[in-house]
Every structure is written in structure tokens, then in C-alpha cells.
Amino acid sequence: MSGNHHENERAPMINNGVFIYPGSFDPVTLGHLDIISRASGMCGRLMVAIGRNREKKTMFSVEERLDMLSDVISSHGKKGGRSLSNVEPVAFNGLLADFAKNCGAHVIVKGLRAMSDFEYEFQMALLNKYLDDTLETIFMMTNVEYTYLSSSAVKEIALNGGRLDGLVPQCVNERLQRKILNLRGMNQ
């Protein structure tokens, strides 16, 4: 029996409930995938929820982002990672607190990369608590390899023809290349 297989059979570390991992995922990166994989072992079901941050203009549509998340989640086990069979990508409109309630989730998972994330995340956690005091936010430290990573950085590198291996899964890299060709085609 492989180490990964054994790990998948262990009971969740925290509880059998539903956790929710929200973000823009424009696009999903290996940093997000690291959090998804670790959080999925802590709960019965993990909803990876694409929400809307009004401050951000996205490169990918919600459908494209959902598609990339589905690809990455379903291929993770096949590529030697833990099976993510309890992980479900979804999209929501409106408030995260309302969506979490509708899904029966009591725990929001967020990744923290550096101290600079803290202030914003602290505010979000308190606002979500204000909106629904049964909601708890837990923070996971991003793997040190990905502390410098963000979706914006990935897009910037892709738009300028830089190397993306080690930052995003291969299928996301391919989508980025295609998207950029499309965008360039449209601007000619």
C-alpha cells in the first residue's frame, strides 16, 4: 500500500463537516493546490468556492476557472498526490457567509502567505463572523515554496513569456498560453 493511499484512508484530522476554501482562483496555482490538498484531509467535504472580489477584473470567466479547478482536482490523485475525491469546485454570487450557510459549511479555510496578508484576512474573518457568528475561519500557512506566489504574478509572467513550471499545474499553464494567444488575436 502506498503512503498516499494510506493517508487517504485516515479519518479527517479535525471533523467530518464541510469546509469552504474561497478565492478568485484566476487562475488556480500550485500554492492554492497545496492548501486544497492539506485542507481536504481535515474535513469530510471541501468546497473550493469561486467568489467575486469587486476590486478585481479577472482574466478567466467563472466557467473557465471552474473548469481549471475541476481538471486540477481530478488529476491530482493520478499524478501521485492525495486523492481529492472529497473536494468540489463551485461558484457563488453574493456573500460568502450566505453561501457557506447554504452549503452547511461552518469553517472557512484561508491560506496565509506573509504578514502582509494578515490585515486583509483578519478583516474578512471578522466581517464573516459578524455576518454569521457560527462561522469560523481557520488559516493555513502556505507552503514556504509558494509564499511569493499569487495569481496576478502568474498572469504577469505568462503575459511576458516567462517560465511557469513550478508555479501552476501543467493544464493551467496550457490554458494561460491559449488565453493569451486569444487575447492577442482579439487586439489585432
Amino acid at 8: N
Q: Which of 18, 73, 96, 109 binds ligand COA (CB under 6 A)?
A: 96
> Can you read off the three cell numbers belonging to residue 23?
478565492
State which residue, 136 or 188, has the beta carbon closest to ligand COA: 136
Contact mark string toward ligand COA, 134..153, x via CB under 6 A = --------x---x--xxxx-
Identity of the residue numbered 121: E
Residues 114, 127, 138, 181: which binds ligand COA (CB under 6 A)? 127
Q: How many residues bind ligand COA (CB under 6 A)?
A: 24
3-state class of 147 per DSSP?
A: coil
The reply on whether position 37 binds ligand COA by CB under 6 A is no
**Residue among 18, 19, 20, 24 that touches ligand COA (CB under 6 A):** 24
Is 113 a binding residue for ligand COA by CB under 6 A? The answer is: yes
Q: Are 103 and 135 in contact (CB under 8 A)?
A: no
Residue listed under C-alpha cell 492577442: 184
Of 97, 83, 108, 99, nearest to 17 by C-alpha is 108
78 - beta bridge partners?
none
Q: Is 5 exposed, middle or buried (0-12, 13-18, 19+ CB in 10 A)?
A: exposed
Candidates 35, 36, 39, 68; binder of ligand COA (CB under 6 A) is 35
Q: How far is the CB of 58 from ligand COA (least distance, A)?
A: 8
Q: Which three cell numbers stand for residue 11?
A: 479519518
Pick one of 4, 16, 53, 182: the residue that binds ligand COA (CB under 6 A). 53
H/E run at residue 67: helix 62-76
Report the interface residues with ligand COA, using CB under 6 A: 22-24, 26, 29, 31-32, 35, 51-53, 56, 95-96, 111, 113, 124, 127, 142, 146, 149-152
